[in-house]
Amino acid sequence: MRFNPKARLDTGRVRDRGRGGGGGFGRGGGSMGGARMPIPGGMRAGGGIGGVIVVVLFLVLTQCVGGGVPGLGGGSSSAYDTSRFAGSDRYENCRTGEDANDDVDCARVAVENSLHDFWSDELGDRFRPVEQLATFSGSTQTGCGGATSDVGPFYCPGDSSIYLDTTFFDAVLERQLGGPSGGFVEPYVLAHEYGHHIQNLLDTMSRVRTQQGPTSDAVRLELQADCYAGMWARAATSTEDADGNVLISELTRQDVEEAVAAAGAVGDDRIQEKTQGQVTEESWTHGSAEMRVRWFETGFDSGSLDACDTFAADRL
- Enumerate binding residues for Zn ion (CB under 5 A): 222, 225, 269
Minimum CB separation from Zn ion for residue 264, in Å? 11
Q: Which residues contact 53 (CB under 8 A, 6 or more apart)?
A: none
Rank residues 19 and 286 by Cβ distance to Zn ion and give the closer one.
Answer: 286
Nearest alpha-carbon partner for 164 in 148, 179, 177, 178: 148
Judged by CB, which is closer to Zn ion: 26, or 264? 264
In angstroms, give the least distance from the CB of 103 to Zn ion: 26
Residue nearest to Zn ion (CB): 269
The 8-class DSSP code of residue 29 comes to T
Q: How many CB atoms lie within 10 A of CB 120?
A: 13
Choose between 170 and 222: whose C-beta lies nearer to Zn ion. Answer: 222
Nearest distance from C-beta of residue 196 to Zn ion, angstroms: 6
Q: What is the β-pairing status of strands 145-148 and 154-156?
A: unpaired
Residue among 96 and 298 whose Cβ is closer to Zn ion: 298
Q: How far is the CB of 33 from Zn ion (least distance, A)?
A: 31
* Least gap, CB of 272 to Zn ion (angstroms): 10
Nearest-approach distance from CB 19 to Zn ion, in angstroms: 25
Q: Which residues contact 144 (CB under 8 A, 6 or more apart)?
A: 156, 157, 158, 159, 272, 273, 274, 279
Q: Quick count: other Cβ atoms within 10 Å of Cβ 177?
A: 16
Nearest CB to Zn ion, comparing residues 90 and 286: 286
Q: Which is nearer to Zn ion, 159 or 222 (CB)?
A: 222
